[in-house]
Amino acid sequence: MNTIHPTAVLDGDIRMGDGNVIGAFVVITGPVVIGDGNFIGSGAIIGAPPEVRDFPHAGRDESRTGAARPAGVVIGDRTVVREQAQIHQGWQRATTVGDDAFIMNQAYVAHDVQLARAVTVAGGVRLAGHVVVGDGANIGLGALVHQRRTIGAGAMVGMGAVVTRDVPAYAKAYGSPARVRDVNRRGAEAAGLSVEQIESLRERFADALGSSVVEGRDPI
């Protein structure tokens, strides 16, 4: 029921649903749970140990490898993980990728990250440990997100942004460091917000910036 390329390496406790496609030279190390209908592109790495200095690593910490067990990776249904993307094991809780996510090539999803439903992570994005991303959020090409930051549902982070503070739901943020610039109207409309709710958000973000947002401007 699953299509697994003969060069893929699957090791440890891996539980998989149906209809998944696992590409060439993929490496999956359990504990990992994968739902149904997912695509994992060639060279992707899922389930490498969490990048935590004190976490036991085989070889360096041969006598300690049994002292800690990674918290796992959980991937939902209909998610795409493109070529050479990396999703690391959880440390304090499972690293989670929700249904209908789209993780593009060479993206990095660190330990304990929580991606909700229909999140888009563009190529080269780096999500540090414990980052939380809400439903339908979109993180642009090459953006960097500091550990323990939250990106709200329906938000848009512009390409190359450096996110050092939380990004509110349905906000549009970009720059280095990233700042909220406007409402992500597309994300808000997709979530079913009314015109009145969107305008209320625009006013709130403008007040937070101390200046008016520019009607109709879309610099991303």
The pLDDT value given to residue 69: 84
Predicted confidence (pLDDT) at residue 48 exceeds the cutoff of 70: yes
Strands 80-81 and 126-127, by their bridges, are unpaired
Query: If you average pLDDT over every residue of the chain, what do you get?
Result: 91
Question: For the segment 114-164, what is each residue's pLDDT rounded down to a tens digit?
Answer: 999 999 999 999 999 999 999 999 999 999 999 999 999 999 999 999 999
The pLDDT value given to residue 210: 60
Q: Please tell me the distance from the alpha carbon of residue 50 to that of residue 142, in angstroms, as a whole number.
A: 21
Q: Please tell me the distance from the alpha carbon of residue 118 to that of residue 97, in angstroms, as a whole number.
A: 9
Question: For the segment 171-204, what is each residue's pLDDT rounded down to a tens digit?
Answer: 999 999 999 999 999 999 999 999 999 999 988 8
Angle (CA) 116 53 152, round 5°: 20
Q: Please tell me the distance from the alpha carbon of residue 100 to that of residue 120, in angstroms, as a whole number.
A: 9
The pLDDT value given to residue 168: 95
Contact (CB, 8 A) for 56 and 64: yes
| Residue 61: band (very low, low, confident or very high) from pLDDT cuts 50, 70, 90 | low
Domains of the chain, each with CATH number or no CATH: 3-183 (2.160.10.10)
pTM of the predicted structure, to 2 decimals = 0.90
The pLDDT value given to residue 29: 97
Token representation of residue 179: 């700042």
β partners of residue 73:
32, 95
The pLDDT value given to residue 63: 58
Q: What is the separation of C-alpha 217 from the centre of its chain, rounded to a whole number of angstroms?
A: 27
The pLDDT value given to residue 216: 39
Predicted confidence (pLDDT) at residue 219 exceeds the cutoff of 50: no
Mention every residue, 6+ apart, whose C-beta is less than 8 A from residue 48: 27, 29, 86, 88, 89
Question: How many percent of the chain have pLDDT more than 90?
Answer: 83
Predicted confidence (pLDDT) at residue 214 exceeds the cutoff of 80: no
Q: Please tell me the distance from the alpha carbon of residue 90 to that of residue 48, in angstroms, as a whole number.
A: 9
Predicted confidence (pLDDT) at residue 65 exceeds the cutoff of 90: no
Angle (CA) 128 93 172, round 5°: 40
Predicted confidence (pLDDT) at residue 213 exceeds the cutoff of 60: no
